[in-house]
Every structure is written in structure tokens, then in C-alpha cells.
Amino acid sequence: MSTERSSYLYELPEELIATHPVSPRDSSRLLLMDRSSRHIHHKRFSTLPDMLDEDALLVINNTRVIPARIPGQRKTGGAIEVLLVKEEKPGVWVCRVKNSGRLKQGEILELGDKSLTAEFLDKNAEGDCTLRFNTGSELMDKLRDSGFAPLPPYIQKARKSFNERETDLNNYQTIFAKEYGAIAAPTAGLHFTSEVNGALQDRGIEILEITLHVGLGTFEPLRVDDINKHIMHEEAYEISETVAEKINTAKKSRRKIVAVGTTVTRTLESAWQDGSVKPGNAATRLFIHPPFRFNVVDQLLTNFHLPGSTLIMLVAALAGREFVLEAYQEAIKQKYRFYSYGDCMLIQ
């Protein structure tokens, strides 16, 4: 089993990187990977309900993306950009700050329309800054007026106008989004519509909700060649007692557990302890890569991920590295759309 990052690389034509979602969302393409036959089929997401067992449990992530990217400037006039990462306490956040090299302790940064300010407190060894915002617990209200969607770097640079800001704040959010806290969308959920949800319910497929607030690790590339040496950033998750009980009951009766996205997969596998999924609030650094034994997830719906990323490694742990790379090459050949706003695949 290869532990080299280079084993998970592939060449992607730039024109296949999606910078906007399709409309309607459920018209996106879906590549179906059948692990038992090793066959690949081409579908539309709108037909997802017909691909699943009637008694399957579909588990989604209900995290809500915050408008975490805020342009601003120093009092000297120098441009900066703040990306919220993690709230330490009300009004105090760990952030990534672009052009933070000369910031001084106590310096006040002017953000958005300048009604939002933040005091620079300190910087850690990784280069992340701690900022105290002037709004305290009302920060989310300010962000709705001045914050931008924390789009991945490969499309964020294309977003400059106010109209695109508003559009992305809506597009970069799943229809399940409830719990504020993510700085990246659980992108597998972006394909769902009320029509698809209705068709799932008509087939008796129950949709269960968990929460994992997607954090900085989504943006972080692997910086080591040996994947065993990579350490994931910590992300907080929550599973209710009701959801845990339903999943555990389903596992005992051998009903299929379908994870919508890598965030759901990491949450469920992290919560597996002593033969069952444990409810509650916790945090995970779980890095799923081959070889990994899945205890909870049977099937996975996911987007197409960046070469050499932790996410493509998770997918390879479930479907096999060679089969996944074969599927990616087929998707490229068929001109699927890749990454956050792109098409998806279902691994059965």
C-alpha cells in the first residue's frame, strides 16, 4: 500500500474546474462507481433516489457556512484580508490574515465598510493571528453585510463584484444548512434540492442530520511526502442521541448508511467507539486514508477532489486507489466539472 502523496496525483485540465454551480442544482452529473463489479456508470444527480436502497439512511451535514472572508485595511492604508478560522471566545477569533507580516500588537484593523474593526492581539507559530472584534457576539450580523463566502482559493480570486458576493453567499450553502460555524461548505450537499429530498422520502429513505464545522484543513495541502506523517486540523462535530440510535439500529439490521460527503464520513467514523456510534459533542483529527477499516459508512456521495489532497485519499480508502484514479480519468474524459461547484460521484 503506497504511502506517498504522489500516488494520489492526477492531471486536470483547467477548463474542467467549476467556478459556478449548475442550475438547477440537481441537474449536476453523477458518476456511479460500483465496487462489486468495478463498473462506472454516468447519471444525473436528480436520479439519486433510484440508486439507493429503499431502507437506506442518508446522513447529511447541516453546518452553515459563515461569511468568513473579510477585506480590509490597516490604519496605514495597507490592504489586508481576514479569514475567520476558529472562535476562541465571544468576539475573539483565530484568523488567517493576508499581509500580516508587519502587524503590531494592539493595532486596529478596519474591515468591510469600516464599521467593523478588529484588534490584533498576537500571532502563533503557524502564522495564524488572534483578533478581537469590536462587535462581540454580534459579529455574525456584521458579516452578513460585509463578509464574503470563504470560497476555495482557486475560485475566490474571481469574485470581486457585490453581486457575485451575494450570489456566492447563497450558492455556497446547502439547503440543509442550519448551524453556523463552517468556513467551507460540505460540498456534496450542494447538489440537493427540495425535489430530490421529496423523492428520497417517497422511497422511504430517511435523511439524518449531523454537524461538523468544516475548518481550515479544507484549504491546507499536504506538506509531507509520506502521508502517514500528515496531521489533520481539529474540527468540532455533534451527533444527537436520536441520530446515533437510528444509525446503530440500522447497522444491526444491515441497512445501508450513505454518507453525504467526506465531512459526514469523518464524523461517523470518529464517533465509532466500542461497537457503536456515540452521540455528543466532540472534535476530530481523523485522517482517513488506505488502509482504513470503515465501521459505519457503507456508501459515499462526494465531489471530485484536488490531486494529492486528504479528501481523495479518504475516497481511495473506501473504493481503492486504482479504481478511484480510473474513475477520475473517466470523469476527465467525459468532461465532468470538478471541485467545490462541480459534479459528484456515488460509491456503492
Distance CA 215, CA 86 (A): 8
| List of long-range contacts for 93-98, beta carbons under 8 Å, 24+ apart | 93/130, 93/131, 93/133, 94/124, 94/128, 94/129, 94/130, 95/128, 95/129, 95/130, 95/131, 96/127, 96/128, 96/129, 96/216, 97/129, 97/131
pLDDT band at 112 (very low <50, low <70, confident <90, very high): confident
Which one, of 275, 314, 310, 319, lies nearest residue 295 by Cα? 275
Q: Given this model, what pLDDT does residue 156 score?
A: 66
| Under 8 Å between Cβ of 17 and 155 | yes
Predicted local confidence at residue 207, as pLDDT:
98
Provide the pLDDT for residue 136.
67
pLDDT digits (tens, 9 = 90+) for 303-340: 999 999 999 999 999 999 999 999 999 999 999 999 99
User: Domain-by-domain residue ranges, the chain?
Assistant: 5-65+174-347, 69-147
**Residue 128, pLDDT above cutoff 80:** yes
Asked whether the beta carbons of 139 and 133 are under 8 A apart, the reply is: yes
The fold of the 5-65+174-347 domain, in CATH, is QueA-like (3.40.1780)
pTM recorded for the entire structure: 0.93
Confidence of residue 158 (pLDDT cuts 50, 70, 90): low
List the beta bridge partners of residue 32: 41, 346
Cβ neighbors of 198 (< 8 A, separation 6 or more) are none
The contacts of residue 235 (CB under 8 Å, 6+ apart) are 212, 213, 214, 215, 217, 263, 266, 283, 284, 285
For 282-320, letters b (16+ CB in 10 Å) and e give eebeebbbbeeebebbbbbbbbbbbebbbbbbbbbbbbb
Residue 32, all three cell numbers? 456511479
CA geometry: angle 151, 156, 160, nearest 5 deg: 120
Q: Is the pLDDT of residue 166 over 90?
A: no
pLDDT above 90 (res 184): yes
Find the farthest-apart pair of alpha carbons in the chain and give their distance in angstroms, rounded: 65
Output the pLDDT for position 126: 83
Classify residue 186 by its DSSP letter. Answer: -
- CATH pick for 69-147 out of 2.40.10.240, 2.60.40.10, 3.30.300.30, 3.30.420.10: 2.40.10.240
Q: C-alpha grid cell for residue 10?
A: 492526477
Cell 460555524: give the residue: 181
Residue 57 has pLDDT above 80, yes or no: yes
The answer to whether 121 and 105 are in contact (CB under 8 A) is yes
Q: Which pLDDT belongs to residue 142?
A: 85
pLDDT digits (tens, 9 = 90+) for 13-38: 999 999 999 999 999 999 999 999 99
What CA–CA distance (Å, rounded) separates 50 from 56?
11
Closest CA to 84 of 180, 173, 170, 183: 183
Please give the grid coordinates belonging to residue 137: 457576539
